[in-house]
Structure 1
Amino acid sequence: MARGYNRIILMGNLARDPEIRYTASKQAVARLTVAVGRSWRDHDDNLQERTDFIPVVVWGNQAENCEKYLHKGRPVLVEGRLQVRSYETKVGERRWITEVVAQSVIFLSGGPRDSQDYKAFTEPVSTIGSLRDEFPDEFPTDISEMEDEGEEADIPF
């Protein structure tokens, strides 16, 4: 079988609060619904708008963080893969589900900024020093320090 590429990137707002459950092996799984809006002009040049509600599944610690820090209306960026699966209902009907299995969920804005949990979640690690402090000759503070005898600097990005 040929190897494929399955990558989804969504940016939208949560349509409802995350729902978290735990598997028999105590692994967290959260279900999110991301509302993604789009607009276009029809053949009569009228603006049309539509919102798609996309189901997302998040596993493990990331699922617990989603439950803790996300709420309805919060903007998120989700990266993951598309999954199609089926199951059988109690009355024997076959049902199909298409969903995004998240590899990462990025919280874009908002949230409980006063809470202690949020501060601990977002504080930078203070033990990592600056490379400029360790190697002052290697990392100039000003772009003009990078220029050699009138030539343009080679900026590494």
Structure 2
Amino acid sequence: MAGVNKVILLGRLGQDPEVRTLPSGGKVVNFSIATSENYTNKNGEKVEQTEWHRIELWDNLAGIAEQYLKKGDMAYVEGKIRTEKWTDQNGQERYTQKIRGTAMQLVGGRGNAVEENESASSYGNSNSGGYAPKPTPVPTPPPIEMAGNSGDDLPF
């Protein structure tokens, strides 16, 4: 059976991105995003519930996050849930869930969409409009006219 593992988040960074450079030269960036939900409880009180999400970006996205993101910024992230198993100091097995980002959009200042497979060199290029591909306009087809039919001679 096939499944879908896709997460879409829009929230504020709770910390500046933490950058690690790997021996291979690649980069990994980690940060947290807070998302909030407002509702009224049974007692009529307004409640704000905040969830924190751990985000991990690799390579090109990591470089862009390192360069442009900071604590408090609003960001849109698409990714996949990943669960990591590890052993703590006491020998207990622990599990950590994080979101491995595959696309990111800076919300507010720049508004450029970034995909994992895009080249970081074109980010911020004023001619390209950022990573978001410009939509191709779809031409509207001309109205269909029935030659010789005025509508009066229709059989129904």
Q: TM-score, normalised by structure 1?
A: 0.71
More helix by share: 1
Runs of 4+ with >3 A deviation: 146-150
Cα deviation, residue 125, structure 1: 3.3
How does 1:110-121 map onto structure 2 within 5 Å? Answer: 110=109, 121=124
Residue by residue over 1:126-149, the C-alpha shift from the partner in whole angstroms, topping out at 9 and shown as x without a partner, is 9xxxx99xxxxx97xxx9xx7659
Residue by residue over 1:72-124, the C-alpha shift from the partner in whole angstroms, topping out at 9 and shown as x without a partner, is 1111000011111111124322121011110011101136xxxxxxxx71412
Instruction: Report what 1:94 is aligned to.
Output: 93
How does 1:11-90 map onto structure 2 within 5 Å? Answer: 11-90=10-89
Do structure 1's residue 123 and structure 2's residue 87 form an aligned pair?
no
Unaligned runs of 5+ in 1: 112-119, 133-137, 151-157
RMSD: 2.8
Unaligned runs of 5+ in 2: 111-122, 130-135, 146-156
- The alignment covers a number of residue pairs equal to 129
Instruction: Report the identity percentage.
Output: 23
Instruction: Report what 1:10 is aligned to.
Output: 9
Q: TM-score, normalised by structure 2?
A: 0.72
Instruction: Report what 1:155 is aligned to.
Output: none
1:93 is matched by which residue type in structure 2?
A: Q
